[in-house]
C-alpha cells in the first residue's frame, strides 16, 4: 500500500511496472476525517485480506510520510519510508501528527522498519525543497534555548545533558555542512538524512522533542492555524528560528548566517507572510501555547511586546530573497 505525493509518484510507478500494489493512496490531506475515510475504504474493500497482509510504504514529502504513518498505525501493518525530498524529518520520527479542526495533534507513535535513502531520486527534486531541510535541524537553536529557560523555572521535562549536547552538536555540524546542503550534493543530502535519523531516535528515546522543537514551531503552528496557509515546513521554520532567536536574545546572527548560507527561502515576502499576521501570532504566542497545551518557551517567561515584533521583523526582512 503506497501513500505517495505527485511528483514524483507517477515517474517512480512507471519504473515498477511488474510490481503489484494493494493500494495507491494519494496523500494530500492530513485532516483526520479524511485519513479515517482512507483507512475505512482500505479495510472494507474487496481486497481487505490483502490489506491485512500488506506493507505500508510512504513515498514523497511530509504529507506522504505522515499519511503512511497514520495508515500503518491504524491497520497495524509494517511501515517503510522513502523520503523523496529532505525538507522535513517526518520519515525519521515516530510521532504521528494529524490535523483535527485545523490544529496539529499527535495521536500515537509508529517506528518504520526501514527508511530508504535514494540519493538520485532526492536530488532530482527542486533544490529549494531539499535546502528547506535545514529548518528542522536549525530549530535546535531556539528549541534548546526554550528548554533551558523552562528548566530554570522547573516547569518542564527534566534537562538532559546528552540530548542538549546532541542538539548543540547538530547545530555545529549543520554549519560545517552548509555549503554541501546549499549545493544539494550527495554529502549534503546524506548529512540532512543522518541528522534526522539521530533526531528521530533521540526523540523516540526521550519521549519528547524539547531539544529540537520550541517556540519557532509553536509560532508556525499559530500562524498556520490563523491564516490557513501551509508554507513549505522547513522554510517557515527557518523564518521562525530567525525571528524567535531575536525575541530570545539568542544569537540571531548565527541563525541568519546559517539560513543565508544554506540558500533556504525564509524572507517573509518569499513565504507570503505579512507583517500583520506575523505580529498577531507573535503577540498571541503565550495565549496560543497555553490554549494548545504546548511546552513552555520564551513567550511564557517574557511578555512579548511591539518592540519584540519590530526587532524580529527587522531580522527576517533583512534575509536575502530567493527564487
Other beta carbons within 10 angstroms of residue 7's beta carbon come to 15
Residue with smaller CB distance to Zn ion, 42 or 85: 85
Q: Is 174 exposed, middle or buried (0-12, 13-18, 19+ CB in 10 A)?
A: buried
Residue closer to Zn ion, measured from CB, 135 or 188? 135
Beta carbon nearer to Zn ion, 77 or 297: 297
Closest by alpha carbon to 25, among 51, 100, 16, 124? 51
**Which of residues 1 and 242 has its CB atom nearest to Zn ion in the complex?**
242
Smallest CA-to-CA distance from 242 within 167, 134, 151 is with 134
In 207-251, which residue ranges form alpha helices assigned H by DSSP?
Answer: 215-227, 233-248
- Residue at shortest CB range from Zn ion: 136
C-alpha cell at 284: 498571541
Question: From its phi and psi, is residue 263 left (phi > 0), alpha (psi between -120 and 50) or beta?
Answer: left
Taking the complex as a whole, the smallest distance from the CB of residue 87 to Zn ion amounts, in Å, to 10
State in angstroms the smallest separation of the CB of 1 from Zn ion.
25
**Residue nearer to Zn ion on the CB measure, 136 or 235:** 136
The helix/strand/coil state of 191 is helix
Comparison of 51 and 89: residue with beta carbon closer to Zn ion:
89
Among residues 111, 112, 177, which one has the least CA distance to residue 138? Answer: 177
Q: How far is the CB of 235 from Zn ion (least distance, A)?
A: 11
Query: Which three three-digit cell numbers place residue 234?
Result: 522547513
CB of 97 to Zn ion, least distance (A): 9
* Residue numbers at the binding site for Zn ion (CB under 5 A): 136
For residue 2, the SS3 value is: strand
What is the smallest separation between the CB atom of 62 and Zn ion, expressed in angstroms?
A: 9
Amino acid at each position: 500500500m503506497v501513500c505517495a505525493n505527485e511528483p514524483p509518484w507517477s515517474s517512480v510507478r512507471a519504473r515498477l511496472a511488474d510490481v503489484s500494489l494493494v493500494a495507491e493512496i494519494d496523500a494530500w490531506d492530513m485532516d483526520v476525517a479524511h485519513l479515517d475515510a482512507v483507512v475505512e475504504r482500505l479495510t472494507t474493500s474487496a481486497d481487505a485480506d490483502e490489506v491485512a497482509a500488506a506493507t505500508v510504504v510512504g513515498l514523497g514529502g511530509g504529507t506522504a510520510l505522515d499519511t503512511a504513518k497514520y495508515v500503518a498505525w491504524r491497520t497495524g501493518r509494517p511501515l517503510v519510508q522513502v523520503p523523496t525530498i529532505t525538507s522535513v524529518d517526518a520519515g525519521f520520527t515516530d510521532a504521528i501528527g494529524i490535523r483535527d479542526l485545523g490544529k496539529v495533534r499527535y495521536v500515537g507513535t509508529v517506528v518504520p522498519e526501514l527508511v530508504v535513502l535514494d540519493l538520485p531520486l532526492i536530488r532530482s527534486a527542486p533544490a529549494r525543497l531539499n535546502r528547506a531541510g535545514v529548518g528542522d535541524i536549525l530549530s535546535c537553536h531556539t528549541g534548546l534555548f526554550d528548554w533551558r529557560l523552562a528548566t530554570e523555572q522547573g516547569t518542564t521535562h527534566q534537562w538532559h545533558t546528552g540530548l542538549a549536547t546532541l542538539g548543540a552538536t547538530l547545530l555545529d555540524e549543520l554549519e560545517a555542512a552548509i555549503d554541501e546542503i546549499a549545493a544539494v550534493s550527495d554529502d549534503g543530502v546524506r548529512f540532512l538524512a543522518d541528522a534526522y535519523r539521530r533526531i528521530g531516535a533521540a526523540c523516540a528515546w526521550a519521549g519528547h522533542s524539547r531539544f529540537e522543537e520550541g517556540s519557532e514551531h509553536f509560532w508556525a503552528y499559530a500562524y498556520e492555524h490563523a491564516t490557513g496557509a501551509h508554507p513549505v515546513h522547513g522554510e517557515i521554520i527557518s523564518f521562525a528560528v530567525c525571528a524567535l532567536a531575536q525575541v530570545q536574545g539568542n544569537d540571531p546572527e548565527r541563525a541568519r548566517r546559517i539560513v543565508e548560507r544554506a540558500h533556504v527561502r525564509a524572507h517573509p515576502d518569499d513565504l507570503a507572510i505579512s507583517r500583520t499576521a506575523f505580529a498577531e501570532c507573535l503577540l498571541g504566542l503565550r495565549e496560543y501555547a497555553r490554549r494548545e497545551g504546548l511546552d513552555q518557551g520564551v513567550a511564557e517567561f517574557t511578555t512579548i511586546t511591539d518592540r519584540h515584533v519590530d526587532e524580529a521583523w527587522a531580522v527576517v526582512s533583512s534575509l536575502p530573497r530567493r527564487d
